[in-house]
Structure 1
């Protein structure tokens, strides 16, 4: 069944306004203790996960200028999060730290995805930051309590190094990325933009005895009723650092996204119904 905003696009701004107001009201009555960005008062010497992603890569036929604009937006959003410490019992919220992306803050038009289409929008491109944070969080004991994935796969793989569907979509303020700290230690987020990469690190104040390996299974394309989809399952292995043994394999998510680019027929399974 199609969403009402697909049938009547002019209702989209009204629906967005409703959802933003609802999330604001929910936040007012939430019992969550959210992390705030304060300068760390001590060292966090134990690295849990480092990762980096390219700032520029070929994304179909999209305008390269939108990627340059994205870098400006990433710098502003990264500065809002860099240095954040997630204390025991606290919840990290992407939008609680970044806030609304406005021209007043210096944000400019970048690439946004809307119903599988690339459009321009102020603050566009900062999903790359959410992707980085989500991937790093999966390699820590932090518990992801809110994460959204894109229902469309808009671009073919070009330099992809992570499993398909292992990113996180964000849209102010009701499509958020949140993770909770259930441990008795604190976690510090460090972010940096170089000429070519967005870099990140999550470190802790005490040694954590486990590491994590994220992998995909059952990855394939399939066609149903003339529409091509991409699917996979994401798992996480918990590894004892002392022995190197896998002590647990956790199911993380099942992804199904409509593909918006051409796929070789030989790679696609056909499903009748």
Structure 2
């Protein structure tokens, strides 16, 4: 694993504004002019075959984060789920997280949740907390034959692990609209994304019209926390995926991604 640490850059508000609008415009052009066919068909009837399911807790005790922001996050998730729950992805189609959800705004009913900033800090912001949804979808997709074509993660590791069940770096951050999560159905089978909330968890399912002939195991290699050149520790790992056939025989061991993030807390906390 080779990684060259880059010195953190402090940009002016004008530079950040211009850069953000440039990338947003670029994404709009990509949606409009690309040859991709994006999924938009919502079906309230669930497909027969469950391929993978996962759930994540709605509430966590996070240092310096007021609980009202997590209550607001739940409201934001409810609004986002109305746009994507039941979405059908036919063979050859693309799923775009932001193209389906649209831009969060107060007018649409979104509230202030936790927004992570480029420098690793966090603040209240409209639509905050929707990363939990994109994280869940990405993690579930790694356990299917669907192909992730666009995914991002934060450059900073903000909170210490608390009862972590997934490897570091196995999520997908989101920020409207250019930090998107896109998935292509490269199979010959129609898939459906089911999402819902309980009092305590966000739950997701990938379903299909036919059963899947494979199962998957996602794991990490070379996890480390190393001192950086600019006064911060860096967390590192590589994510791989084992693929098994119906006889539970290993048929592939695939590289998924390599992760590096500045740590915003003291390393090696208990």
For residue 2 of structure 1, report the CA deviation from its aligned partner. Answer: 5.8
Q: Return the TM-score normalized by structure 2.
A: 0.93
**Selected match of 2:82 from 79, 84, 88:** 79
Tell me how far apart the structure 1 counterparts of residues 144 and 268 of structure 2 sit (CA, whole Å): 37
| Structure 1 gap ranges (5+) | 268-273
Q: Does 1:95 align with 2:98?
A: yes
What is residue 142 of structure 1 aligned with on the other side? 146
Q: Does 1:187 align with 2:156?
A: no
Name the SS of the counterpart of 1:172 in structure 2: coil
For residue 156 of structure 1, report the CA deviation from its aligned partner. Answer: 0.3
Is contact 1:131–1:169 with CA below 8 Å preserved after alignment?
yes
Name the SS of the counterpart of 1:130 in structure 2: helix
Is contact 1:91–1:179 with CA below 8 Å preserved after alignment?
yes
For residue 237 of structure 1, report the CA deviation from its aligned partner. Answer: 0.6
Tell me how far apart the structure 2 counterparts of residues 67 and 145 of structure 1 sit (CA, whole Å): 30
What is residue 240 of structure 1 aligned with on the other side? 245
What is residue 263 of structure 1 aligned with on the other side? 267
For residue 18 of structure 1, report the CA deviation from its aligned partner. Answer: 1.7
Tell me how far apart the structure 1 counterparts of residues 81 and 47 of structure 2 sit (CA, whole Å): 19
Q: Return the TM-score normalized by structure 1.
A: 0.92
Pairs within 5 Å for 1:78-227: 78-115=81-118, 116-225=120-229, 226-227=231-232
For residue 65 of structure 1, report the CA deviation from its aligned partner. Answer: 1.4
Is contact 1:37–1:97 with CA below 8 Å preserved after alignment?
no
Q: Aligned-pair RMSD on alpha carbons?
A: 1.6
Q: Deviations over 1:39-82 (max 9, x none)?
A: 25x65211111000000012222222111111110111111110
Q: Does 1:68 align with 2:71?
A: yes
Tell me how far apart the structure 1 counterparts of residues 41 and 115 of structure 2 sit (CA, whole Å): 26
Tell me how far apart the structure 2 counterparts of residues 125 and 218 of structure 1 sit (CA, whole Å): 29
For residue 37 of structure 1, report the CA deviation from its aligned partner. Answer: 3.7
List structure 1 runs of 4+ shifted beyond 4 angstroms: 1-4
